[in-house]
Amino acid sequence: MNNSLQIVFILMIVANFAIIASSRIRGCIKLLSLQGVILSLVPFSHLDIPHALFFCTLILVVKALVFPALLQRALRVVRARRETEPIVGYSASIMLGLGALIFSFWLCGRMNIAGRGGSELGISAAVFTIYTGLFIIIARVKAITQVVGYVVFENGIYLLGSSLMLEQNILVELGVILDLLVFVLLSGIVVFHINKEFDHIDTNSMSDDGSAHKGVLP
């Protein structure tokens, strides 16, 4: 495996840690866009140049420009507090992230991916990115931060698809990007409504009614 690709995977992992550790939503969104830029380099690893250029541009536009802009706009419109408001503290989050990182490397070592033609570091990075996304969805209170978590989760799936070195995954790649686009648009609308309805976007204190199901999100 060449060094430059390895560095791209490492940068993905580092970006994940930075997102876990960041305490400002604005910073979180900036890091997300940075991760989009890093991810846009991945198609060059396994596609021919015209296809790679196409997907690189697509990812750059969608993940590095459109999503962050939409999220920043949502943040501005709803005038949310700046903190990401964790349920799990930042330091504990990093420690958990470390555990997840070790687990992903162990898992990929066990699955013997290299024997099946994939890149081991890439798959470990992908699995870790997926964990990071899920963790942010679970451990952060704000709706916007949860959307950030979901985008990270999808980034991980995209990376997984690329790292498995499949020939015919163009469909999947398009799928991931379209799926995300719809999701972010929809969630943008919902976030806007949450704000209108509640004057805040804190999903934890939505159910103020005793009969409603407590513990809003998983």
Partner 1 sequence: MTAAIILVPILAGIATFFVKDGRCRNMVLVATAAVHFLLSLLSLFSGASPILGGILHLDETGHLFLCTMSLLFLVSSVYAAAYMSEEHEAHKESVGDGVYIADSHGRLFSASLLIFCGTMSLVCAAGHLGVLWVGIEATTFASAPLVYYYRTRRSLEATWKYVMICSVGIGFSLIGNLLVMVSFSGAADGSLFISDLKGAAGAADSQMLMVAFVFFLVGYGTKTGLAPMHTWLPAAHGESPAFVSSLLSGALLNCAFLGIFRIHGICWDAGIGSFSGGLMIFIGLLSVGAAAFFMVAQKDYKRMLAYSSVEHMGIAMLGAGLGGVAVIAAMLHVINHSLTKGMLFLTSGNILSAFGTRRAGEVSGLSRVAPETGLLWFCGLLAICGTPPSGLFISEFLIMKEMFSGGRFLSASLLLVFLFLIFGVMARAGIEMFFGPSPEGKSSWRESKGRILPSLFLLLLTVLLGLYLPEGLLDFLRKISGGFQP
Partner 2 sequence: MADTRTMAFNLLPLLCGLILAPFMIGVVNRTKAFFAGRNGQPLFQLYFDIFKLLRKGAVISRSTTWVFRGAPAVSLASIVFALAIFSFSQEGAALSFPGDIILAVYMLALARFATVLSALDTGSSFEGMGASREVMLAPFAEAAFLILILAAAAASGSISAATMFSAAVPLPVRILMFVSLFIVLLVENCRVPADDPNTHLELTMIHEVMVLDNSGPDLGMIFYAASLKLWLFASLTVCCIMPAGLTGSVAGDIAMRVAGVFCVSVLVGVVESVMARFRFDKVRRMLLFASALSSLALLIALGATA
Site string for partner 1, 164-183 (x = CB under 8 A): x-xxxx-xx--xx--x--xx
The DSSP H or E segment spanning 209 is none
Residues at the interface with partner 2 (CB under 8 A): 3, 6-7, 10, 13-14, 17-18, 21, 23, 90-91, 94-95, 97-98, 101-102, 105, 109, 120-121, 124
Please count the residues of the chain. 218
CB closer to partner 1 out of 4 and 205: 205
- What's the Cα-to-Cα distance from 103 to each of 7, 49, 158, 201, rounded to whole Å? 20, 34, 20, 33
User: Does residue 130 touch partner 1 according to CB under 8 A?
Assistant: yes
Q: Where are the alpha helices (DSSP H) in the chain?
A: 3-21, 25-40, 49-59, 67-78, 90-111, 120-139, 143-163, 170-198
User: Does residue 160 touch partner 1 according to CB under 8 A?
Assistant: yes
Select the binding partner of residue 3 from partner 2, partner 1, none (C-beta < 5 to 8 A, by kind).
Answer: partner 2
CB closer to partner 2 out of 124 and 195: 124
Tell me the C-alpha distance between 130 and 151, whole Å.
10
CB closer to partner 2 out of 53 and 98: 98
Phi, psi of 118 (to 5 degrees): -95, 175
Q: Which two tokens stand for residue 16?
A: 């994940």
CB closer to partner 1 out of 4 and 106: 106
Tokens 């470990």 belong to: 124
The amino acid at 76: R
User: Does residue 194 touch partner 1 according to CB under 8 A?
Assistant: yes
User: Does residue 197 touch partner 1 according to CB under 8 A?
Assistant: yes
User: Does residue 190 touch partner 1 according to CB under 8 A?
Assistant: yes
Select the binding partner of residue 109 from partner 1, partner 2, none (C-beta < 5 to 8 A, by kind).
Answer: partner 2
Q: Please name which of 10, 20, 22, 215 lies closest in space to residue 134, comparing C-alpha atoms.
A: 20
CB closer to partner 1 out of 73 and 116: 116
Site for partner 1 in 21-60 (CB under 8 A): none
The amino acid at 27: G
Tell me the C-alpha distance between 151 and 166, whole Å.
22
Select the binding partner of residue 90 from partner 1, partner 2, none (C-beta < 5 to 8 A, by kind).
Answer: partner 2
Please, are residues 22 and 141 in contact by the beta-carbon 8 Å criterion?
A: no
Select the binding partner of residue 81 from partner 2, partner 1, none (C-beta < 5 to 8 A, by kind).
Answer: none
User: Does residue 203 touch partner 1 according to CB under 8 A?
Assistant: yes
End-to-end CA distance of the chain: 38
CB closer to partner 2 out of 101 and 152: 101
